[in-house]
Amino acid sequence: MATAIITGVTGQDGSYLAEQLLAQGYRVVGLHRRLSADNHWRIAHLQAQLELRSVDLLDQGSLLDVFEDVQPDEIYNLAAQSFVPTSWRQPILTGEVTGLGALRVLEAMKRACPSARLYQASSSEMFGAAEAAPQTERTPLRPRSPYAVAKTFAHYSALNYRDAYGLFVVCGILFNHESPRRGLEFVTRKVTDAVARIHLGLSDSLSLGELSVRRDWGYAPDYTEAMQAMLRQDSPRDYVVASGKDHSVEDLVAVAFGVVDRDWRDHVHIEPALFRNNELPGLCGDATRAAEDLDWAPKVDFETMIDIMVRADIERLDCGS
C-alpha cells in the first residue's frame, strides 16, 4: 500500500485528490491546520478512511515530525493562502504560508524522507502580465500580486531543491480550476451560488467587478488527476495544466444564468469597489507537454462545469444546507 501525504486536504483540490487516491488503495494522511471553526465539509464523507494530522506550515518542527513518522511515498503540497484579494490585505501571512510554507515542506522532505516524490502546487498567476500567449512551461514569470509572488518563491524553491539535492520534485502550473467545492469567495462560486439563490427566490441581484477579465477555467477533478500523473513519471518535470481555452467573466455569468433560463443583464450590477489591484486582463495555458508526456487532457468543458456547479448550488440551497 502506497502512502500519500496531502497538505491542505480540506481544500477543493485536497478533497478531490484524497478521494481519488483512496479509490486507488492508497493510505492517505491529510494535513490540516487546526481552526476554531470546523472547515471539514469537503472531506466529511472521507473522514473514516483518512488519517488526519494537525500541522501548521509555519511550524517546521510539526512538519518534520509527521514526515518522519509517516514516511510517505508521495507528498502533495496543496496548502496555501490562495485567494488573491486576501493576499493584498495580508501579504506577509500569504508570503509565510504560501511561500515559506512550501520551503518548510521541502526541507522536511529532504531531512525525513528524501526518497519520496513531491508535487508542488504552482499557479498560472505566476505568469502575471505574461509577455506571450498562450503560456507554456517556458513563459517567463511576471507575478503581479502578493499571492503570485509567494507562489513564484515556492516554485523556484522546489526547482532549487530538485537540482541541489536530487529530490524527485515536480511543479504543476495549474490554471484556474473550479467545482462545487470551490470556496464561495472565488468568482465562479460567487456567480453560481448567486444564480441558485435568484432561481430559488432567495435573492434578486449579483454585484461583480470587471466583466472583461479572461481566464482559462477547468474542472478540478480533472486537474488532480494530472497531479498524480506527474509523480508517476520516470523523471521529474514541470507541467502546465490548462484547458487551452479562455473565457471572460461575462461568459461565465451568461452560461451560469443560462442554466436557469434567465438573462444575466436583469440581475448583474457592476460595482467599481470590486475591481482588483493589478488585475490581470487574461491568462490562457498551453498543456501540450502534459498531453504528450502524461496522456492528459481535460474531460469536462467550461459549459458543463458551470452547469454542474449551478445545479449543485441549487440542490445545496434547496436542501437548506
Give pLDDT tens digits for 19-61.
999 999 999 999 998 765 578 999 999 999 999 999 999 999 9
Q: What is the pLDDT of residues 3-29, one digit of tens each?
A: 999 999 999 999 999 999 999 999 999
Residue 223 a catalytic site member? no
Percent of residues in the chain assigned helix, strand, coil, to nearest 5? 45, 15, 40
Catalytic residue among 26, 76, 119, 147: 147
Q: In the numeric block, which cell numbers belong to residue 270?
A: 457592476
**Catalytic residue flag (residue 122):** no
- Which segments of 204-301 does DSSP mark as H helices, in order? 220-231, 249-259, 288-294
Q: In sequence order, what are the beta bridge partners of 118?
A: 75, 169
Mean pLDDT of 242-256: 97
Catalytic residue (one of 125, 157, 179, 243): 125
Q: Which of 19-33, 36-50, 116-130, 181-195 has the lowest mean pLDDT?
A: 36-50
Task: Report the mean per-residue pLDDT for the chain.
Answer: 95
What pLDDT was estimated at residue 316?
Answer: 96
**Percentage with pLDDT > 90 across the chain:** 89
What is the C-alpha to C-alpha distance for residues 159 and 202, in angstroms, rounded to an integer?
49
Selecting among 82, 87, 122, 123, the annotated active-site residue is 123
Q: What is the pLDDT of residue 188?
A: 97
d(CA 285, CA 132): 10
Residue 62 a catalytic site member:
no
Residue closest to 77 by CA, chosen among 185, 177, 180, 151: 151
